[in-house]
Amino acid sequence: MGQLFNRISRFVKSEVDDYEVTSAKYADYYDDELKRIIDELEKEKTFKDKSSYKTKGNSTQKDENKVFTLDEAYSILGIKSSATNEEIKSAYKQKMKEYHPDRVADLGIELKQLAEQKTQQINNAYVMIKKLRGFN
């Protein structure tokens, strides 16, 4: 009876250890992924803060509707200009999943606003490319 108990005990312990290792691995992955997204959003905010003001005479105006080039639009979606329409759609969907404001909604208003800005930028890039290529 003691041997059976020891075998069951070792089996349960190994399953628990496997679960803890797997959970920790996934937790680390999601933590790293979230940190990467936050860092990129912070960089985007810093870039926007530096580039979103125009000086006219003595006044400073915020440039809310920054227009970017076609090359920048492809860059925002993370694709080359030679990408197919399907690749463009796929890249757009992937970026929207990655930067959607709902993913960071519980991390504070500032990060949610950054995610909204990035999402708007992704949408604008996608619309620009769609209009140029004439696809839906």
As a whole number of angstroms, the longest Cα–Cα distance in the chain is 90
pLDDT confidence of residue 9? 73
Residues 6+ apart with CB under 8 A from 3: none
Per-domain residue ranges of the chain: 2-133
pLDDT tier at 136, thresholds 50, 70, 90: confident
Q: What average pLDDT does the structure give for the chain?
A: 76
Q: What pLDDT is attached to residue 46?
A: 61
| Residue 3's pLDDT band (cuts 50, 70, 90) | confident
Look at residue 24 in the predicted model and tell me its pLDDT. Answer: 63
Give pLDDT, residue 90: 96
Nearest to 94 by CA among 126, 116, 69, 70: 126
69-115: per-residue pLDDT in tens? 889 999 999 999 999 999 999 999 999 999 988 888 888 888 888 99
Q: Which CATH architecture has domain 2-133?
A: Orthogonal Bundle (1.10)
